[in-house]
Structure 1
Amino acid sequence: MTNNQSSSLTYRDAGVDIDAGDALVDRIKPLAAKTMRAGVMAGIGGFGALFEVPKNYKEPVLVSGTDGVGTKLRLAFEWQRHDTVGIDLVAMSVNDILVQGAEPLFFLDYFACGKLSVDTAAAVVGGIAKGCELANCALIGGETAEMPGMYPDGEYDLAGFAVGAVEKSLIIDGKSIQEGDVVLGLASSGAHSNGFSLLRKIIETTGAKPEDDLGGRPLGDVVMAPTRIYVRSVLAALKAHGAAIKGLAHITGGGLLDNVPRILQPGLSARLHRDAWEMPELFKWLQKGGNVADTEMHRVFNCGIGMVIVVPADQADAVAATLTANGESVSRLGEIVAQTGDMPQTVVV
């Protein structure tokens, strides 16, 4: 085959702009600098990031987590809202490792797109840096991949990776949970990053617009509210109450019904009372707009509860007070009971 190409091809001709990538790194560096904490030895710019395990741990156990933002990104593309999905990305991973008692230490991100928009990517990474500040963990590295033909123009995907540490003797595994313990719930900031395939379907079928009013706020603001990061408040409660916190469950995909059983031993069930907390307007709207059954709501969405904490009954008030003092809205959701017959491990009555 004859090659009639007269000019020299470049990477930019193939769709990859190295200069744009360099410009993004320059935009990211001051954002990452705001997240630095003790332990960072080398961060953004190297081939690998270095972090020294804090010396205050006697027997440190590293805890890692990874996640994405899911189809919430489709609304970010359609509504041009890129500044908060980075917070979602951090939250999904740091909240996951938090439930084992881990203090998040550092975070890495992966941003992939077809054509790199420096402004869009910088907005996303700005959210990631904000999430890291809220979680008190360092944004220590990441990867930006410009891959022509892999993603439509204006679209991207995100993945995040968090590493934390916990003292070996203080790992929370739920094994001490027993009948009679109390289940506390920490309020969510909205739908967080779960159930968005159904949420988007309801928006589509109802014809709702981001500017529509929902409880005095634009629907777009309510739907895109970033996932709440529970790190500071829960670590404060762990420091104050120690072993009183027997189990923690991050309410993500699977909702209350599938996530709480992950910390329960066989033979136990969490009995939650539906009148123990007020379901936020967003979930009421979703349930009505999609004619969604109660069980489906509790299995798909967090329904207003983003984190569940199991504590002894005689210490529930004290733990709740500490969490409240650290900015959380706490509900006494129910109690741990013996599982009988075909009772599921989480039931909402």
Structure 2
Amino acid sequence: MGNAYAKAGVDVEAGYEVVKRIQKHVQKTERLGVMSALGGFGGCFDLSALKIKEPVLVSGTDGVGTKLMIAIQEDMHETIGIDCVAMCVNDIVAQGAEPLYFLDYIATGKNIPERLEKVVAGVAEGCVQANAALIGGETAEMPGMYGEDDYDLAGFAVGIAEKSALIQKEKVKAGDVLIGLPSSGIHSNGYSLVRKVFFEQNDFHGETILPELNQPLKEVLLTPTRIYVQALLPLIKQGLINGIAHITGGGFIENVPRMFADNLAAQIQEGTWPNLPIFDCLEKYGNINHTEMFEIFNMGLGMILAVSPEQVDQVLQILQRNHESAYIIGKMVEKATTSVEIVEENK
């Protein structure tokens, strides 16, 4: 084979090696409905195998953002793929749908099979956690567009729901109880500010151990996003949840109102869920206004559920049986001024 493409900076053989390396990871994600084999021109999925009467497809797409820059900086690529899957499937389950399959896209300046295998292994692990099949993807070697050590990662997921089971704003009512499910940390949002605070304003590095954290900063910052599919699906299938807010970019202020109508507001009591030290560190070392923290970060809660008062005990029991922590954090009220009211601990 000629070497013209190689001279342009693209290693075709390395691309073939990546496909071989990731096959064992992809196989772990197979589930009912998968039809296609890795390496075809498109991923196929048989919806008829699911026996849903009025199927509605729910799709989601997202990337990891500048959290990737920390993974590259620290040469830690094993879990970043979990973040990519989580950002897509958590949005899908928030609509009341079950994730079915996932496709990834990786663009890089230089195709390094060992590194890309680690990335895809993380994607596969995220798919296993979400019970979603990894049915395809694309790796693009783009010298000149990216540096040799750089890569970008994005994904696309599709889920399915019975039309009658979709979670819609109209279901949430005043008096509904708000239940929060804890996050594992920052998840995958706000990392442009995170990097600025820790690596620019304070000149910390990945090995820095802050007294508030008791472990290297890189380990805290690269903790993967939690995937809530298995925790929420049993509740969704029993019709126990009126609304779900996935707390991502925009924090509480942007995401919580997305689950209810304009005439309502969420009244949230701060201090009703465990505090994660990483957010105290960001506020302290970044000199960030406390209210603004709720506009940027998840503040320790990755999902917030709106539940009818008479269903709360059952919801908490099911979550406990599934080894999921949950906290009553507030309630829905008639809107007065703002859509989200954060009541501080000392009030």
Give per-residue Cα distances to partners, 1:91-132, cap 9 Å, x unaligned.
000000101111100000000011111111111000000000
* Cross-structure match for 1:228: 226
Q: How does 1:163-312 map to 2 (within 5 A)?
A: 163-204=158-199, 205-213=201-209, 214-239=212-237, 241-242=238-239, 244-312=240-308
State the Cα RMSD in Å.
Answer: 1.1
After superposing the two structures, state which structure 1 stretch, 109-118 or 51-60, moved more: 51-60
Distance 1:254 1:327 in 2: 28
Distance 2:80 2:323 in 1: 22
Which residue identity does 1:282 align to in structure 2?
I
Which residue identity does 1:111 align to in structure 2?
I
1:81 is aligned to 2:79: no
Give per-residue Cα distances to partners, 1:252-304, cap 9 Å, x unaligned.
00001110101110110000011211220110111111111112100100000
Q: How does 1:45-124 map to 2 (within 5 A)?
A: 45-53=39-47, 54-124=49-119
Q: How does 1:143-158 map to 2 (within 5 A)?
A: 143-158=138-153
Q: Is the 1:77–1:154 contact (alpha carbons within 8 Å) kept by the matching residues of 2?
A: yes
Structure 2 length normalisation: TM-score?
A: 0.95
Distance 1:324 1:216 in 2: 29
Give per-residue Cα distances to partners, 1:191-213, cap 9 Å, x unaligned.
00001011111102122222223
1:35 is aligned to 2:29: yes
Structure 1 length normalisation: TM-score?
A: 0.95
Residue 154 of structure 2 aligns to a residue whose secondary structure is strand
Distance 2:263 2:339 in 1: 8
Query: What count of residue pairs does the alignment treat as equivalent?
Result: 338
After superposing the two structures, state which structure 1 stretch, 33-42 or 321-330, moved more: 321-330
Unaligned residue ranges in structure 2 (runs of 5+): none
Distance 2:183 2:95 in 1: 19
* Cross-structure match for 1:129: 124
TM-superposed deviation, 1:238:
2.0
Which residue identity does 1:187 align to in structure 2?
P
Distance 2:207 2:8 in 1: 39
Q: Is the 1:251–1:259 contact (alpha carbons within 8 Å) kept by the matching residues of 2?
A: yes
Which residue identity does 1:302 align to in structure 2?
N
Give per-residue Cα distances to partners, 1:48-72, cap 9 Å, x unaligned.
1110013321111111000000010
Which residue identity does 1:104 align to in structure 2?
P
After superposing the two structures, state which structure 1 stretch, 296-305 or 209-218, moved more: 209-218
* Cross-structure match for 1:5: none
* Cross-structure match for 2:325: 329
Q: Is the 2:36–2:44 contact (alpha carbons within 8 Å) kept by the matching residues of 1?
A: yes
Q: Is the 1:248–1:308 contact (alpha carbons within 8 Å) kept by the matching residues of 2?
A: yes
Give per-residue Cα distances to partners, 1:140-159, cap 9 Å, x unaligned.
00000001100011000011
Q: Is the 2:33–2:50 contact (alpha carbons within 8 Å) kept by the matching residues of 1?
A: no
TM-superposed deviation, 1:217:
2.2
Distance 1:36 1:227 in 2: 22
Within the candidate set 327, 345, 348, 2:342 is matched to: 348
TM-superposed deviation, 1:9:
5.0
Unaligned residue ranges in structure 1 (runs of 5+): 1-7
Q: Is the 1:100–1:248 contact (alpha carbons within 8 Å) kept by the matching residues of 2?
A: yes
Distance 1:288 1:327 in 2: 32
Which residue identity does 2:310 align to in structure 1?
D
Q: Is the 1:256–1:299 contact (alpha carbons within 8 Å) kept by the matching residues of 2?
A: yes
Which residue identity does 1:44 align to in structure 2?
L
Distance 1:193 1:55 in 2: 32
Which residue identity does 1:228 align to in structure 2?
R
* Cross-structure match for 1:3: none
Distance 2:299 2:66 in 1: 18
Distance 1:107 1:92 in 2: 12
Give per-residue Cα distances to partners, 1:304-347, cap 9 Å, x unaligned.
0000100011221221221122132211110001111xx21111
* Cross-structure match for 2:311: 315
After superposing the two structures, state which structure 1 stretch, 132-141 or 289-298, moved more: 289-298
Which residue identity does 1:185 align to in structure 2?
G
Q: Is the 2:319–2:326 contact (alpha carbons within 8 Å) kept by the matching residues of 1?
A: yes
1:12 is aligned to 2:6: yes
Give per-residue Cα distances to partners, 1:3-56, cap 9 Å, x unaligned.
xxxxx7521111111100000000011110110011011131101111001332
After superposing the two structures, state which structure 1 stretch, 296-305 or 312-321, moved more: 312-321
Runs of 4+ in 1 over 4 A off after TM superposition: none
